[in-house]
Amino acid sequence: EAGVVQSPRYKIIEKKQPVAFWCNPISGHNTLYWYLQNLGQGPELLIRYENEEAVDDSQLPKDRFSAERLKGVDSTLKIQPAELGDSAVYLCASSLGTAGNEQFFGPGTRLTVL
Amino acid sequence: AQSVTQLDSQVPVFEEAPVELRCNYSSSVSVYLFWYVQYPNQGLQLLLKYLSGSTLVESINGFEAEFNKSQTSFHLRKPSVHISDTAEYFCAVSETGGFKTIFGAGTRLFVKA
C-alpha cells in the first residue's frame, strides 16, 4: 500500500513569489492534516480536513496561506506571496477518522525562500 | 490547551547502552499520548501510543513508555540501543477523543559505535 505522497520534495523560490504543495493521502483516510515544521521544532498544525471540509484552520495564516481538498482526497496548500520566514518543511499526514488513531506522514516538502 | 516538553534536544549514547528520552506534558483534561520517530530523510512514523488501560506500552522494536499521570510524564526507554535507532523522536499529546495533536520539539538520539 502506498504511503502519503507529497510533491515537490524541495522547492526554492524568491520572496513574494507564489508556491503550492500537493499531498495525496493514504487511500480511505478521510482525515488529512497539513503541518509546518521549523528547524529544531516539532510539527505544528496548519489545517485539518475531514473529507472535503476544513474543520480546524485556526492556525492557518489566512492572509497568505490557502488550502483546498476537492473531492475529499488529495489536497493542495498554497502560499501567496511567500516571505522569508516561510522557509520550513511542510508536512502532510492522514489518518482514519477516529480520535487516537495513528497519523501517517509524508516525507514533507522543504521550502526555501530567498 | 495542551503542551509538550521534551527535556533533551540531543541524547548521545553508545551502542548497547540503555537510553531514556524524557517527555512531560501539560493538560487540564485527560489525554492520549504518542511517540513518533523520524529517521533521516523519512516522514514521521508512530512508535507507540497510550490511549487507555495499561500504563506501560511497548513497540515492536524494543522501546517502551510509561504513562505517569501524577508526574504528567510519558518517558521513552530502551534497555539496549542499536546504531539503527539513530533518529529524531517526537512526543505528542491530544485530548481524549480529540484530533488536534501537539508535538514536542523533538529529541535527537545519536547512537555511537
Nearest Cβ partner of B99 from A42, A99, A104?
A: A99
In tens, the pLDDT along A53-106 reads 999 999 999 999 999 998 889 999 999 999 999 999 999 999 987 777 889 999
Q: Which residue of B has its CA nearest to A32?
A: B99
Residues B33/B12, Cβ–Cβ less than 8 Å: no
In tens, the pLDDT along B52-89 reads 888 999 998 899 999 999 999 999 999 999 999 999 99
- Chain A residue numbers with beta carbons less than 8 Å from the beta carbon of B101 are 45, 103
Which pLDDT score, from 0 to 100, does residue B56 have? Answer: 92
Which pLDDT score, from 0 to 100, does residue B26 have? Answer: 93
Judge: A42–B46 Cβ closer than 8 Å, yes or no: no
Judge: B49–A31 Cβ closer than 8 Å, yes or no: no
Residues B106/B8, Cβ–Cβ less than 8 Å: no
Q: How many CB atoms lie within 10 A of CB B18?
A: 10
- Note the maximum CA span of chain B: 42
